[in-house]
Homo-oligomer: A and B are copies of this chain.
Amino acid sequence: MTSALPRPDVSLATVQRSLGDSSVEYPLWPPLTRGCPRTSTDAMSYPVEVDYDYARVGDDFLGRGLNGQPRGDSSGGAAGSRRAPSGHDRWAALLPPLLTPGLGEGGTPLVELADGVFVKDESRNPTWSHKDRLNRVTTSAAKGVGAPGIVVASSGNHGASAAAYAARAGLRCVVLTSPAVPPAMASLLGAYGAVVLPVPVDARWPLADRIADTFGFHTASNLTPFHTGHAWGPEGYKTLAYEIAAELGTPGSVFAPTGYGELLFGVWKGFAELHRLGLVDRVPRMFSCEPAAGGPLAAAVRSGTAAARVELGPTDAYAIGCPVGGHRGVLAVARSEGRALLVDDPAMRAAQRELADAGLWFELSSAAGLAGFRGPADEAAVRAEGPVVCIATSSGFKDLGVGGQRPAPVDPAWESVERLLREAGIGA
């Protein structure tokens, strides 16, 4: 009965390292929640990442992660035998210390579409989004510093995931959300016993800061002018790369819905680590897919800056509509020789429809990856090398408009039903 226990001993994490200057490092503890203090200026914020003792990673890292620890006789055996690690615990060597129990995060399927494109279905996570990969790690950070709770500012997936992992860890959680949160998402946010406070968007970050100061809560949201977020969080997204590599080998291209660029960076870093370790033969090109209504990463790439701020117009892809970016995404695109794509709402809707017609229901933001790959006409120059993996981040339940209405009853008389079916093209 050891599966729910953390195994911090196996982490090979060593220090925190600046993404503004890789010669600048900090001790692993405490996890930095305000970016790199030494390289950040009033004009630019730089994040930090986690470094590891890569020389001690075993050659069987991918295989162990896939198949688990030796389990002896897997054909039944004694009940109550020690289970193979699951979730993030499979990859604990290249993650920050895991001090809180998991919920079986990750292990999501690659579903192949008719034309051979793979969709990594992140709606199959514990709170039905990719954010669980991040929150397993940030919750452990909170536990490690002895914080009594976690505070996040989130309109949705991040907040729900933080609430679930805090509950699992026996920590309190405060979620500062928007009064405009979709109703089904509001039910999810409230499910795990967190204190959920809908406040105006601009009030969220100052309140998060003050709650952290006043109550000693650990912050799992950004607190800097450009996005730096939590030092450890994006490390959790590396497991996406490990899983894909173990199952498929290295893809040629990865398309990711992109808000602040943490997912994009984490997936790129995971592949870069495997390449450095000699476990894969290449690193995929990373394609960021931002809503055309904003696009701070595309703006930073265009202008050659470390991060950018843009006007954010209207978009229904609320989970990735960001007016401000961070340096992580710029690094992932540049170092992988990828591209920063923009996708508009109609393109995301078309991709969302295509996915639903294949039996996969995602929220609009989640379809940005496939929308980026399918590409608008003027993006014909995006010749993605295969295999292509599009990351789809979250269940359709989180979308705007979900739960807004019941369908109207229909007349059950056969003549009426038959007419409705024929109008829908059945029997034609």
Chain A 199-228 interface residues, beta-carbon cutoff 8 Å to B: 199-200, 203, 207, 210-211, 214-215
Residue in contact with A407 in the complex, picked from B126, B186, B358, CB distance below 8 Å: B186
- CB of A342, distance to nearest CB on chain B (Å): 26
- A174/B76 in contact, CB under 8 A: no
- B112/A109 in contact, CB under 8 A: no
- CB of A239, distance to nearest CB on chain B (Å): 14
Instruction: Quickly give the copy total for this chain.
Output: 2
Asked whether any CB of chain B lies closer than 8 Å to the CB of A384, the reply is: no
Asked whether any CB of chain B lies closer than 8 Å to the CB of A196, the reply is: yes
- A187/B397 in contact, CB under 8 A: yes
Separation of A361 and B181 alpha carbons in the complex (Å): 19
Chain A 76-119 interface residues, beta-carbon cutoff 8 Å to B: 76-81, 83-84, 86-87, 101, 103-104, 107-114, 116
What chain B residues lie within 8 Å of A1 (beta carbons)? 112, 116
- A79/B420 in contact, CB under 8 A: no
What chain B residues lie within 8 Å of A359 (beta carbons)? 103, 126, 164-165, 167-168, 192
Asked whether any CB of chain B lies closer than 8 Å to the CB of A346, the reply is: no
- A360/B207 in contact, CB under 8 A: no
What chain B residues lie within 8 Å of A110 (beta carbons)? 3, 83, 86, 104
Can you list 17 A-B contacts with CB-CB less than 8 angstroms, sorted by A residue number? Answer: A1-B112, A62-B76, A75-B279, A104-B110, A124-B126, A167-B358, A183-B402, A184-B397, A186-B407, A187-B399, A187-B401, A192-B359, A195-B421, A198-B406, A210-B414, A211-B417, A395-B397
